[in-house]
Chain A
């Protein structure tokens, strides 16, 4: 995946660049809006990460300019302004996702991955998801583990589907609330954990290897390798 990062904070930028390079991606970095807009219009990227507050040209203007010139490269907006109205403004400008600082790198990676995959039309065409011996048939709405059927409520199915679509990646509680329940705010309660533990009881109970893992300080991950 080829990524362009437009971010003026060198420390945050360094952290992001290192993270993606370690993950085997190509990433270019511009530290101001003007250079960023130039790179975005001249080079071909799979995804953009744009800080909202930038010197010279601000993040929303960059995205608006790109969208006006019919460039639909998926763009994720980074900002310290994590309020609902800012999110709305960001999405109105043509951004595809919005991430509030601070974020876990895995969250950024997961969100960007989801954006790029969506843009390439991947994911939507998949009819069967699998993690280890766990299989989900999206058409038949069936879940099996080791050939054994697991009955799930619709919401649990959605939750597991989201986890499996991001297999090997950490998903945060906020991401789950956002994508499974469609509400945007920081759930300051343990209610998501309760949902996960119920799902875990159905998916992992009685099996030798655990698939759903809790990642301290971040969220959850479904992974066969543990």
Chain B
């Protein structure tokens, strides 16, 4: 099973879609949490600032400006690593007291609330929230707090998001592949079985796993359907066997009586009786062809697949038709040096080859030329019959091909006989691809055989070879 196939499956795409949905919802969730947490941390910082301001206001009220400076210095010294930020400058911007070196460039949040970045001793940037005010008009004061937790939180959520989503992605891909793999394996079973059934083996059934999942249900229904089809086919075949028996037996009698009559008949009647026998024979051979077509189409020949030596088949057909071509003064050339074997029924394949040759010779005028060749092209056996006859105009070729493939039409065509229908049934049975082209002048027919798959059972080939 190829990865590309797996990536195309419905299951995989569905998993992927869910994953994207999950991704988006997780991002929104984390975003919301982040936003709420940020608000909380900011509120905490603001509350701490308020408390600080309140405390300092009390100190100022009790001990005046110098007392305030003292208190601030004491607090800075007590907590050198603390989060509190203080700065008091005079109107010229000169620092009076505080743990900032200079008045920072502020970003106003609202009213007297501001924020600014601060570079710490270790080089890290930290954000400071603060309030600024001018208590007596001669100094400016900034009381703030580093919101270190905020940065840490942001970093934490970023990391969580990255890893969480990476793991989710990996899990989703793995699950998708695993699930689509399971599904593909089941579907592959369905496909393999239906191909075998289409190949003519109606007894094939899809395996069920016994888990009673939806695939088992589908398999059970398809199997039940195949049981019905097989039953119908068997019934039809029995019926055609019976029809063959019931109709051909009286025809046999008729023909036999005529034959006996022929022996007794005087010279005048003999010709008439012989003509009757010929008519009966024509009737019976039409009937035989119909039965053959029905059986070939029903695929009951599948059991008789053998390895057929196409080189011999072509050479035999050539041998059979050389005299016919000579009689019509047509040059018949055969090019079949390659050993090519295909799987099928040798009698049916011979019938196809002789039928094509028969037609080619029939439609080629005296002095013309017919070529038959067999070779392997791109690993695929190809049989070509080319003639120098009138050919078939390009716009008509499709129609002729349809007659090759649409049996009902050619059957109803008067005078066409059943040869073409038989050939088309045989071609379809063997999976042969047939094309018609312009031979400038004439017609060129190409038959491409399917590349041989499994080897055929030995028994049939041996039997077919010695039954003469």
Contacts and interface: CB of A to CB of B under 8 A. Distances in A.
A207 B467 CA distance: 38
Contacts of B259: 104-105, 217-218
B345 A191 contact: no
Interface stretch (A35-43, A65-73, A175-183): A175-183
| B260, B319, B347 pick with most chain A CB within 10 angstroms | B347
Main secondary structure of the interface of A (DSSP, over half): loop
B316 A216 contact: no
B323 A194 contact: yes
Contacts of B358: 189, 191
Nearest to A184: B347
Interface string B338-353: 0000000111101100
B348 A84 contact: yes
Interface in B290-324: 291-292, 295, 300-301, 303-304, 316, 319-321, 323-324
Indicate the member of A15, A82, A102, A195 with the most B CB atoms within 10 Å: A102
A105 B463 contact: no
Interface string A94-121: 0000001111110000000000000000
Contacts of B288: 82, 100, 186
Interface in A150-196: 155, 178-179, 181-191, 194-195
A102 B351 contact: no
Contacts of A82: 288, 291
B196 interface: no
Contact of B464 (A88, A100, A103, A198): A88
A11 interface: yes
A12 interface: yes
Given A105-B256, A217-B262, A88 B320 contact: no
A85 interface: yes
Contacts of A15: 253, 256-257, 260
A92 interface: yes
Contacts of A212: none
Nearest to A82: B288
Contacts of A12: 249, 252-253, 256
B319 A185 contact: no
B301 A186 contact: no
A191 B354 contact: yes
Interface in A48-95: 53, 80-85, 87-88, 91-92
Contacts of A190: 324
A101 B291 contact: no
A84 B359 CA distance: 24
A102 B285 contact: no
A11 B245 contact: no
Contacts of A133: none
Centre residue among B256, B324, B358, B464 by max chain A CB count within 10 A: B256
Chain B's interface: helix, strand, loop or mixed, by majority?
helix
Interface in B268-298: 270-271, 273-278, 280-281, 284-285, 288-289, 291-292, 295
Interface string B96-113: 000000000000000000
Contacts of A179: 468
A80 B245 contact: yes
A53 B468 contact: no
Given A15-B256, A92-B463, A184-B347, A85 B303 contact: yes
Contacts of B248: 80, 101-102
Nearest to B459: A92
A179 B251 CA distance: 26
B241 interface: yes
Contact of A84 (B262, B275, B301, B323): B301
Given A82-B288, A92-B463, A191-B321, A102 B295 contact: no
A182 B346 CA distance: 10
B281 A217 contact: yes
Contacts of A88: 304, 460, 463-464, 467
Nearest to B255: A102
A183 B323 contact: no
Nearest to B276: A217
Contact of B278 (A85, A183, A216): A216
A195 to B, nearest CB: 6
A103 B270 CA distance: 19
Contacts of B253: 9, 11-12, 15
Nearest to A192: B320
Contacts of B249: 9, 12, 80, 101
Interface in B382-414: none
Nearest to A198: B323
B464 A102 contact: no
Given A15-B260, A102-B248, A105-B256, A188 B285 contact: yes
A217 B278 CA distance: 5
B439 to A, nearest CB: 22
B327 interface: yes
Interface in B202-254: 241, 244-245, 248-249, 251-254
Contacts of B273: 217
Contacts of B280: 102
B164 interface: no
A189 B354 contact: yes
B291 A83 contact: yes
A189 B320 CA distance: 11
20 contacts: A11-B253, A12-B252, A12-B253, A53-B245, A81-B241, A82-B288, A91-B463, A100-B288, A102-B248, A102-B256, A102-B280, A102-B284, A182-B468, A183-B316, A184-B347, A185-B350, A185-B351, A186-B285, A194-B327, A217-B273
Interface of B: 241, 244-245, 248-249, 251-260, 262, 270-271, 273-278, 280-281, 284-285, 288-289, 291-292, 295, 300-301, 303-304, 316, 319-321, 323-324, 327, 345-348, 350-351, 354, 358, 417, 419, 460, 463-464, 467-468
Identify the 7 closest CB pairs spanning chains A and B, nearest first: A217-B277, A102-B252, A216-B274, A80-B248, A101-B252, A102-B255, A15-B256
